[in-house]
Structure 1
Amino acid sequence: MSKALLYIEYTILALCLSTMAIITFANVLSRFIFNFSIAFTEEVTVNLFVILTFVGASIGIYKGAHLGFNLVYERSSSFNKKMSSIIIGGLIVLFFAIIAYHGFGIVQSQMDRGQITPALGWPQWVFTLGLPIGSILCIIRTIETTVKSINGIKNESVREL
């Protein structure tokens, strides 16, 4: 599942980034050549940037690309390493679960009110759905990384014996 999810995440990133680059470049050309700005580009770019951020965070969690201070962790016993991994993983899952919960609430509210985007007239919830979906991806990756970390600590302690 991990490889398939990574493929999906990279595909989403590539589509979002390429779409953002193309429409932004087209808008810049349109302004300079025709003295006309394409109205929807800002709306799409901002909303795609939210999706890009959360999916990128999910990949960052998977790759362990976050900043960390390892001195205390590395010098701890295997039990303390396991406990800190579980506590940190639990706090990250809780954080993204709160974001996902409130994100789904916002999506539901936008669906109930029939809120549409100003320039395109699309349902706003389509773009807002990136918030809870990205949070769920981050939760999956955090659980996966925490389990890998705990298994790595177990293997480390077995090798030390």
Structure 2
Amino acid sequence: MKIYKKIMNALAAVEKIVLVISTLLILVLTVGNVFSRKVIHRSWSFTEELVVAVFVLITLLAAALACREGELVSLTLATDRLPKKLKKPSVILITVLSIIFSVILFKYGMDKVITQLQNGKRTFVLNWPEWIFWSFVPIGAGCMILHFIEFCLDFCCKTDSAKNTDNSTKSNMNTITTDKKEAK
């Protein structure tokens, strides 16, 4: 289990680095394009293709990291009210359903990548192979699957990250309850 956790920590670190670089890339491209349009009066036509593709990558990797923390796994409003003996089965059920969704996303993303590889389809402005951009979908879905499994194992084995998620959920619920009492 410790080796698995080290691998998942390394994957999360790579995901975070990719997210930082991708966000900086979007920032530079968008600001640069605005500057170019306003000052030089020439638009960078390639920015739209890159920004849209990289935004898909950012969205899916951020969702995967949220899965790791249990943020995407369940609606805590419902699961927090369950008796203790039903919490573990509900997390397992939600994880299974989430993995099924992610597997479907992965499958359709891979189908699209394979189709574009076979057709040799290219982007309009950059003339890059479109499969490069579509590969972000199965990459993100694969990361989500791994992190859903990681969270479920953490929760079922009650490791530190699952305990932290449980405690943060409880403190959030206490804050909400206190805020409601103060509002009355």
Gaps of at least 5 residues in structure 2 are 1-6, 164-184
Match of 1:149 among 155, 170, 183: 155
Which has the larger displacement, 117-126 or 66-75? 66-75
Task: Provide the TM-score with structure 1 as the length reference.
Answer: 0.89
> Is residue 2:84 matched to residue 1:117?
no
Corresponding pairs, count: 153
Gaps of at least 5 residues in structure 1 are 157-161
Paired AA for residue 68 in structure 1: L
Query: Percent of aligned positions with the same letter in both sequences?
Result: 29
Paired AA for residue 11 in structure 2: L
Corresponding residue for residue 159 of structure 1: none
> Is residue 2:21 matched to residue 1:15?
yes
How far apart are residue 69 of structure 1 and its match?
A: 2.9
Which has the larger displacement, 6-15 or 64-73? 64-73
Q: Which structure would you say has the larger RCO, counting Cα contacts within 8 Å and 6 or more residues apart?
A: 1
For the aligned residues, what is the CA RMSD?
1.7
Q: Deviations over 1:25-52 (max 9, x none)?
A: 1100100011110100010000000000
Q: Deviations over 1:58-115 (max 9, x none)?
A: 011112234623455454132x222111110000000000000000000000111100
Instruction: Provide the C-alpha distance between the structure 2 equivalents of 1:113 and 1:136, rounded to a whole number of angstroms.
Output: 24
Q: 1:152 to 1:114 in 2, by over 3 A?
A: same
Q: 1:19 to 1:72 in 2, by over 3 A?
A: closer
Instruction: Provide the C-alpha distance between the structure 2 equivalents of 1:94 and 1:142, rounded to a whole number of angstroms.
Output: 11
Instruction: Provide the C-alpha distance between the structure 2 equivalents of 1:2 and 1:107, rounded to a whole number of angstroms.
Output: 26
Verify the 8 A CA contact 2:79 2:87 in the aligned structure 1. Answer: no
